[in-house]
Chains A and B, each alone.
Chain A
């Protein structure tokens, strides 16, 4: 109950602070650029492919690829936003002494952690859903392409932001804001790198590289989740292209559906990080 009051306050804060305005402006800019870029590029591709027999098919593949790329950028944007809005959620309140006044009220320490997490999680989920729908609408309007299973993809992208949110919450309970932020960006970068290594490793048939990728994914599953999401965004034509035997590879996308154990792992990972955050926060002096 009290956690919900904190969540409500967090939502209010997000709505009232300039930060959100910044995110909205940035996102509108991103969508506009995506739309305009798509129109321009599509015009060029149409002009080039006109006359060739494979024209229709080529344009379809191009549209799907561009949409996938748009989602890739959106996923990155959402991930960075998750870190950005929550990085000082706990440490900032500890530094300023706000926790003293907050915890003077009849609530438990875990209410503060859970409440803030819930508040930010709702903002992030809403952000990913709205932006994904906007992106899909623009892509459909310009190219007639619709991803095959957008809901699954959106769900997985929300999970990406929750993984990062939980990690940032955990870091905030024992690290100063700056250290937490630097650490999160390093991890996020590592995840991206791990994803690349794994994809390339699969293409080059290097078990070592694949294993490195998997270990990184276990450490920070944000990129493997994105790659799972990407599967649901690609039509059969692109999936077929991504055939290892032909050497075709889209470096930031996966041609196989997510494995159930991986999904279970990431959910446990997210909850585990959150639980650990509560445990650490419960034990520390404030």
Chain B
């Protein structure tokens, strides 16, 4: 079942800035969807459109099959904005209680969920402190708490760990995994690739408002392999042969890193070395990390 569907979404801000060129996405139920991209790629713009905060210039967008911003839609989702801010004269507990009221939770469920979520985000101790007195990380935590309070079916998180310490990041990771286990759909904006790699099923990489790579994380990472070739000297001839076998990622006098499609390349590289009289010191295959794919996708675009 599709939870989020956008087609050729375009956003041009009032100042003429094109934030999204043409964004087509589909996010299915219980997926953890990683939305990646460099600064200014349009991630926050996309999430704001999904929340009905920003109107697209063109294209269509549906959340739960309805236009975004509809209260019926918003009742079923939770949102952590990029910079979470709320009335800072409230305490953490009061904020969550107010959130619960807006979400229509009855008094008993509200009390239970407020305590549960405070504990979940590690703010049980600071529950009765004014948000004014919260650190940046604590603000982000209470923001996450209000997004999860009403047990939504869909959670949209805009860089949820940007202000968190390593322990906090790990906790958020665990929370996302747990949500996935409960069948909750998660839309995660991030540029922390190692993090995305650990929790996401599906990934879309955006750059300058367009999706440049997308697909299931496993396929994206598996489809790409890397081959490190260490030799005594990289001759022009040898390099030319390597370029025929895959794309050269890095190259020095004695080392070449190749991106290759499959495992077939290694013996061919060895064969080439023998034929051209190059001394082969090592041939190291490796899975490519998401970071490499990201960098390549963005640079490929730029180039």
Which residues of chain A have a CB within 8 Å of any CB of chain B? 2, 5, 9, 13, 16-17, 96-108, 283, 285-286
Contact = CB atoms under 8 A, between A and B. Distances in A.
Given A100-B48, A101-B86, A106-B74, 18 more contacts: A2-B71, A2-B102, A5-B98, A5-B102, A97-B81, A97-B83, A97-B84, A98-B87, A100-B81, A101-B143, A104-B74, A106-B102, A108-B71, A285-B14, A285-B53, A285-B55, A286-B48, A286-B53
B215 interface: no
Nearest to B89: A16
A103 B51 contact: yes
Nearest to A284: B55
A86 to B, nearest CB: 15
B286 interface: no
Nearest to A101: B86
Q: Which 10 A-B pairs have the closest CB atoms?
A: A104-B79, A106-B75, A105-B102, A100-B81, A106-B71, A106-B74, A285-B54, A286-B53, A97-B85, A96-B85
A17 to B, nearest CB: 6
Given A107-B71, A286-B48, A101 B103 contact: no
Interface in B82-104: 82-87, 89, 98-99, 101-104
Interface in B266-303: none
A104 B143 CA distance: 11
A96 B85 CA distance: 7
B163 to A, nearest CB: 14
Contact of B72 (A96, A102, A106): A106
A101 B48 contact: no
Nearest to A102: B86
A7 to B, nearest CB: 12
Interface in B133-158: 143, 146-147
Given A16-B89, A107-B71, A285-B13, A100 B53 contact: yes
A2 B147 CA distance: 18
A232 B178 CA distance: 67
A54 to B, nearest CB: 57
Given A105-B99, A108-B71, A17 B54 contact: no
A103 B78 CA distance: 11
Given A5-B98, A285-B53, A286-B48, A101 B85 contact: yes
Contacts of B48: 100, 285-286
Contacts of A107: 71, 74, 102
A101 B75 contact: no
B79 A101 contact: yes
A13 B79 CA distance: 24
Contacts of B85: 96-98, 100-101
A84 B78 CA distance: 34
A88 to B, nearest CB: 13
B52 interface: yes
Contacts of B87: 9, 13, 98
A100 B101 CA distance: 17
A106 B103 contact: yes
9 contacts: A2-B71, A13-B89, A96-B85, A100-B85, A101-B143, A104-B77, A105-B99, A106-B103, A286-B48
A17 B102 contact: no
B101 A5 contact: yes
A9 B78 CA distance: 21
B85 to A, nearest CB: 5
B290 to A, nearest CB: 28
Contacts of B146: 101, 104
A105 B74 contact: yes
A283 B147 CA distance: 25
A104 B147 contact: yes
Contacts of A105: 74, 99, 102-103
A104 B77 CA distance: 8
A160 to B, nearest CB: 28
A104 B78 contact: yes
Contacts of A2: 71, 102
Contacts of A17: 89
A105 B95 CA distance: 12
B84 to A, nearest CB: 6
Contacts of A96: 85
Given A101-B81, A101-B86, A106 B147 contact: no
A100 B83 CA distance: 9
Contacts of A283: 55
Contacts of B98: 5, 9
Contacts of A103: 51-53, 69, 74
Interface string B104-117: 10000000000000
Given A9-B98, A100-B53, A106 B89 contact: no
A98 B55 CA distance: 18
